[in-house]
Amino acid sequence: MNNILVIGSTGQIGSELTFELRKRYGNNHVLAGYIIGAEPKGKLAESGPSAVTDVIDGTHVAEVVKEYKIDTIYNLAALLSVVAETRPRLAWRIGIDGLWNVLEVARENGCAVFTPSSIGSFGPNTPHDHTPQDTIQRPRTIYGVSKVTTELLSDYYHYKYGVDTRAVRFPGLISYLTPPGGGTTDYAVDIFYSAVRKQTFSCPIKEGTQMDMMYMPDALHAAISLMEADPARLIHRNAFNVASMSFAPETIYAEIRKLRPDFKMEYNVDPLKQAIAESWPDSMDDSAARTEWDWQPQYDITAMTRDMLDKLEQKLATE
């Protein structure tokens, strides 16, 4: 990776991934792609180059890739699960028509492409416990349908045209820097904001609903180390299961209460989020990622909770 383009650099993952890549590869080698209305701000804007990069306009993506001599694209443009259900046509245009444009540009310019999939690519008849790497993927949300298509289209470009496409299936991601963009697992971030602000948390997900989650530093590590991995070892491409922790609302609540004993939570279940959550895996088997590119997470629920509370407290104190 010499010159990297992060499309969707101002989102929850993109904002942190851009910083991490700039640390590793140099500020001027990582271009922050954004759309009008979601411009980079503060340190993200100041620390390196940025350019408008809308995946719906393929010609424009090609111009950006040529101008900055891009060889690696992290394509993070998407509508997340809950938002996508309310705007399915737009979700498809960004997630699939947009991906097609990115893959075409990559084919013409010899770029490697990372386009994340999700636990949302699984459906109600997928085995929920230790969900295998290769299994039934029949999701019933537009988000899930677009994620399965993302995986297939990315594999197609690899096998047909030799484009170096790779991806992981991210679980729900927990971070303190940029708020989540409207997904089913957002509650696992929101609960920390309530705990730090000493407010009662209203949980939209039912007690006992288990979902895979991951702390952002592990997610960034997964995205970068997969793209750095030796291609000769990769049997799979799009996309690898990656896992580090799996919990239900009462488990994360109990974990936070170990450190903030006065914290309170009540349930106020959102039927749309609950239905999506129930169709997703309880826990994933990520042995293929461990074998093929040495995936190894650093944070379990206890380490994540401690770090998240500390960092969020510092962040909110300065706002």
Residues annotated catalytic, as ranges:
143
Residue 4 or 77: which CB sits closer to ligand NAD?
Answer: 77
- Binding window for ligand NAD (CB under 6 A); candidates: 175-183, 234-242, 274-282, 302-310: 175-183
Angstrom distance (rounded) from CA 212 to CA 196: 23
Q: Pick from 40, 144, 181, 249 the residue near ligand NAD by CB under 6 A.
A: 181
Angstrom distance (rounded) from CA 180 to CA 173: 8
Q: Pick from 31, 65, 76, 220 the residue near ligand NAD by CB under 6 A.
A: 76
Does residue 56 belong to the site contacting ligand NAD (CB under 6 A)? yes
Pick out residues in 184-243 that bind ligand NAD (CB under 6 A).
185
Q: CB nearest ligand NAD: which residue?
A: 11
Q: Pick from 32, 55, 196, 312 the residue near ligand NAD by CB under 6 A.
A: 55
Question: In the chain, which ranges are continuous DSSP H helix?
Answer: 12-25, 42-46, 58-67, 81-86, 88-92, 98-109, 142-161, 187-196, 216-228, 249-259, 271-279, 287-293, 301-317
Q: Pick from 18, 21, 54, 122 the residue near ligand NAD by CB under 6 A.
A: 54
Does residue 183 belong to the site contacting ligand NAD (CB under 6 A)? yes
* Strand-strand pairing, 245-247 and 211-215: antiparallel
Preceding omega of 51 cis (within 30 degrees of 0): no
**Burial per residue of 283-310, b for 16 or more beta-carbon CB atoms within 10 angstroms, e otherwise:** bbbbebbbebbebebebebeebbebbbe
Task: Please say whether the dihedral angle defined by the alpha carbons of residues 273, 91, 117 and 9, taken in this order, is positive or negative.
Answer: negative
Pick out residues in 101-140 that bind ligand NAD (CB under 6 A).
116, 118
- Binding window for ligand NAD (CB under 6 A); candidates: 51-59, 132-140, 224-232, 235-243: 51-59
Mark residues 153-172: x for contact with ligand NAD by CB under 6 A, - for none.
-----------------x-x
3 state SS of 272 = helix
* Contact in structure between 108 and 73 (CB atoms under 8 Å): no
Compute the least distance from the CB of residue 197 to ligand NAD, in Å: 21
- Binding window for ligand NAD (CB under 6 A); candidates: 7-15, 131-139, 260-268, 295-303: 7-15
